Amino acid sequence: MARRSTPPGQHRPVLLDEVLKILDPQPGQVVVDCTLGWGGHAAALLERVGPTGLLIGLDLDSSNLPRVKERLEAVGNAFRLHHANFAGLDGILGGAPGADMVVADLGMSSMQVDDPARGFSYARDGALDMRIDQTRGRSAAQVLATIPEEDLRQALLDLGDEPAAPRVARAILNAREETPIVRTAQLARIIQEAIGEPQWRLHPKPGTWKTHPAARTFQALRLLVNREMGNLGNLLRVLPWCLRGGGRAALISFHSGEDRLVKSAFRDGLRGGIYEVTSKDPIRPAFSERQANPRSRSAKLRWARLAAR
Ligand SMILES: C[S@@+](CC[C@H](N)C(=O)[O-])C[C@H]1O[C@@H](n2cnc3c(N)ncnc32)[C@H](O)[C@@H]1O
């Protein structure tokens, strides 16, 4: 069916079948998509809740909303879209009755990463911005201009798992004394020279070429600039108040630190009787999905079901 198709150049939403199986959307239910992106998960969920259901969708990047709106209008069922941070999901839902299900597919869409003007890509030169919400906050260039070396080193370790964090942090500080770091290619070069790995591929096959030496630093900076761990922590805190009794949440993370946060929030909620059941182990994309969409390789899906109120 044409309206279900994935937009040109885009992959099928990550772990779509698994998300639908876990959330099991039914006609008339209220579903929240915290991270609309291209609207792939949202469109599939909206179809299933039917004309009596409702989809509430959020994205921190307002430039996503017009395209998603068009895509969801083609489905034809009721939806509301918000340019908003999922950290404040409870406020967005306000006094509305809780949701039957909440999905969050964390991080960035490939469209955002591949757009050089957004400054996320070490492979395509652009201004070093990296803000998901371009209407506020400090760009990566502004953060790098003032961050103390120790804080940068720690962020590279904690958020990027960068084994050469001290060397990379020092190289960045040395470089910024010479000239401001304002372009992605400039930063990538500084890191590449500090690490000294000439061979890389955008999506390496296991055991072949390595990822770009700047990949870990770019990931750490993106998480830092957008306070992504803090946002996720807030979402996990308010999530139980956003769901009806028996409501389900499915969260897809792409970074070990994010997955640890989700895992421990669900585990604590289970122990505290807030959730009645949670996933034991993370669900990973099948081999075929990893082959078709290399960016899905690091995805981990965890879910939880709220106890009856
Ligand atoms: C991986 S994409 C989602 C893809 C989507 N599931 C689809 O099917 O197309 C993640 C999206 O989350 C958005 N995002 C990231 N952090 C957010 C936050 N704190 N609040 C709301 N949206 C956020 C990004 O702008 C991006 O569009």
Q: Is the CB of 293 under 6 A from ligand 1?
A: no
Domain assignment of residue 269, yes or no = yes
Domain assignment of residue 8, yes or no = no
Q: Is there a single domain that holds both residue 103 and residue 242?
A: yes
Domain assignment of residue 2, yes or no = no
Domain assignment of residue 7, yes or no = no
Last residue of a domain, one of 208, 227, 246: 227
Q: Is there a single domain that holds both residue 180 and residue 207?
A: yes
| Extended strands (E) in the chain | 30-33, 54-59, 79-83, 99-105, 243-253, 275-278, 300-306
The predicted pLDDT at position 5 comes to: 46
Residue of 11, 56, 60 best suited for mutating to test ligand 1, as the one with most atoms within 8 Å of CB: 60
C-beta of residue 267 within 8 angstroms of C-beta of residue 278: yes
Distance CA 277, CA 23 (A): 13
How many domains does the structure of the chain reveal?
Answer: 2
CA of 132 to the centre of ligand 1 (A): 9
Distance CA 122, CA 152 (A): 18
Distance CA 46, CA 235 (A): 22
Strand order in the sheet with 275-278: 79-83, 54-59, 30-33, 99-105, 243-253, 300-306, 275-278
CA of 308 to the centre of ligand 1 (A): 29
Q: Is there a single domain that holds both residue 216 and residue 120?
A: yes
Residue of 35, 108, 225 best suited for mutating to test ligand 1, as the one with most atoms within 8 Å of CB: 35
Q: Is the CB of 93 under 6 A from ligand 1?
A: no
Q: Is the CB of 217 under 6 A from ligand 1?
A: no
The predicted pLDDT at position 110 comes to: 85
Q: What is the pLDDT along the chain (309 residues), one digit of tens a residue?
A: 334 445 555 678 999 999 999 999 999 999 999 999 999 999 999 999 999 999 999 999 999 999 999 999 999 999 999 999 999 999 999 866 699 999 999 999 888 988 999 999 998 999 999 999 999 999 999 999 999 999 999 999 999 999 999 999 999 999 999 999 999 999 999 999 999 865 555 555 555 556 789 999 999 999 999 999 999 999 999 999 999 999 999 999 999 999 999 999 999 999 999 999 999 999 999 999 999 988 899 999 999 999 997
Burial call 127-150: b when 16+ CB within 10 Å, e when fewer: ebbbbbeeeeeebbbbbbeebeee
Q: Is there a single domain that holds both residue 284 and residue 194?
A: no
Last residue of a domain, one of 168, 195, 227: 227
> What CATH number should be reported for the domain holding residue 281?
3.40.50.150
Residue of 71, 132, 232 best suited for mutating to test ligand 1, as the one with most atoms within 8 Å of CB: 132
Q: Is there a single domain that holds both residue 102 and residue 242?
A: yes
Last residue of a domain, one of 227, 244, 261: 227
How far does Cα 167 stand from its chain's mean position? 28
Distance CA 43, CA 75 (A): 7
Domain assignment of residue 6, yes or no = no
Q: Is there a single domain that holds both residue 126 and residue 220?
A: yes
C-beta of residue 295 within 8 angstroms of C-beta of residue 110: yes
Q: Is there a single domain that holds both residue 176 and residue 249?
A: no
Domain assignment of residue 103, yes or no = yes
Q: Is there a single domain that holds both residue 103 and residue 252?
A: yes
User: Which domain does 265 fall in, by range?
Assistant: 16-110+229-306
User: Other C-beta atoms within 10 Å of 11: how many?
Assistant: 18
Q: Is there a single domain that holds both residue 24 and residue 94?
A: yes
Q: Is there a single domain that holds both residue 221 and residue 239?
A: no
Domain assignment of residue 211, yes or no = yes
Q: Is there a single domain that holds both residue 199 and residue 245?
A: no
The predicted pLDDT at position 287 comes to: 93
> What CATH number should be reported for the domain holding residue 144?
1.10.150.170
Q: Is there a single domain that holds both residue 143 and residue 274?
A: no
Distance CA 70, CA 80 (A): 12
Domain assignment of residue 5, yes or no = no
